[in-house]
């Protein structure tokens, strides 16, 4: 997305998208830490969330434009699966922790729908800024407490992000080397 709009506007859009997407990525790291997918129903719901993430990823380049509704619906599915699976935990600390952040997690897809409904321009930008701010401020206001943490699980999940980031960098460098400009081949 940033390679097609390499200016401050592209940077701002990319930062807003990253803030929203990273929030739920981290939320799924916490989810699979607390609720290991041992049951087939849990695995099936995680596959559904993975499909929704794929749709979300495909909609990213036009998430502020023509794909804004697709992005919002995919994000809603991701949040609903996350919330539903997290509420199946039997650990009272984990259940208490998700109940503290659940309201803000459920409000964000509604804000994304509001952003999608607003005509293109400064108001849509304002809605997206509210979405990103709502997520990250909610973590400070409603800090989840009592959730059990398995450190190796988080190291593995964030290691996967690094592998993806390095892979994307190698692809981008390859594209830049193959063409005179740094835009991917058509």
How confident is the model at residue 182, as a pLDDT?
A: 53
How confident is the model at residue 185, as a pLDDT?
A: 47
How confident is the model at residue 33, as a pLDDT?
A: 76
List, as one string, the DSSP characters of 49-109. Answer: HHHHHHHHHHHGGGTTTTTHHHHHHHHHHHHHHHHHHHTT---HHHHHHHHHHHHHHHHHH
d(CA 133, CA 20): 9
Per-residue tens of pLDDT for the chain, all 186 residues: 666 667 787 788 888 888 888 888 888 877 777 777 778 888 899 899 999 999 998 998 888 889 999 999 999 999 999 888 888 876 776 677 777 778 888 888 999 999 999 988 888 888 888 888 888 787 776 655 566 665 565 556 566 666 666 666 666 666 666 555 555 544
Buried b / exposed e over 15-41, threshold 16 CB at 10 Å, is ebbebbbebbbebbbbbbbbbeeeeee
- C-alpha to C-alpha distances, 104 to 69, 73, 100, 109, 138, nearest whole angstrom: 20, 17, 9, 9, 6
For the chain, give the longest Cα–Cα distance: 57
- C-alpha to C-alpha distances, 125 to 9, 13, 38, 74, nearest whole angstrom: 10, 9, 41, 20
How confident is the model at residue 52, as a pLDDT?
A: 94
d(CA 73, CA 112): 9
How confident is the model at residue 55, as a pLDDT?
A: 93
How confident is the model at residue 127, as a pLDDT?
A: 87
User: Which residues, including other chains, have CB under 8 Å from residue 96's CB and lie 6 or more apart?
Assistant: 145, 146
How confident is the model at residue 102, as a pLDDT?
A: 81
C-alpha torsion sign, points 98, 101, 106, 109: negative
**Domains of the chain by residue range:** 2-149, 151-186
Q: How many CB atoms lie within 10 A of CB 70?
A: 17
How confident is the model at residue 65, as a pLDDT?
A: 87
Q: Is the pTM of this model over 0.85?
A: no
For residue 174, the SS3 value is helix
How confident is the model at residue 10, as a pLDDT?
A: 77
How confident is the model at residue 186, as a pLDDT?
A: 47
How confident is the model at residue 146, as a pLDDT?
A: 61
How confident is the model at residue 16, as a pLDDT?
A: 86
């Amino acid at each position: 997305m940033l390679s097609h709009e390499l200016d401050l506007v592209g940077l701002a859009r990319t930062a807003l998208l990253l803030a929203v997407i990273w929030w739920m990525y981290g939320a799924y790291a916490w989810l699979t830490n607390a609720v290991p997918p041992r049951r087939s129903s849990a695995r099936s719901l995680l596959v559904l969330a993975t499909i929704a993430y794929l749709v979300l990823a495909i909609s990213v380049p036009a998430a502020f434009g023509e794909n804004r509704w697709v992005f919002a619906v995919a994000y809603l599915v991701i949040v609903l699966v996350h919330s539903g699976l997290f509420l199946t935990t039997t650990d009272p600390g984990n259940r208490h922790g998700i109940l503290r952040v659940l309201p803000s997690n459920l409000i964000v897809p509604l804000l994304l729908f509001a952003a999608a409904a607003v005509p293109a321009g400064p108001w849509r930008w304002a809605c997206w800024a509210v979405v990103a701010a709502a997520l990250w401020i909610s973590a400070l206001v409603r800090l989840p407490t009592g959730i059990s943490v398995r450190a190796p699980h988080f190291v593995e999940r964030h290691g996967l992000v690094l592998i993806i980031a390095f892979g994307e960098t190698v692809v981008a460098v390859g594209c830049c080397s193959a063409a005179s400009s740094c835009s991917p081949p058509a």
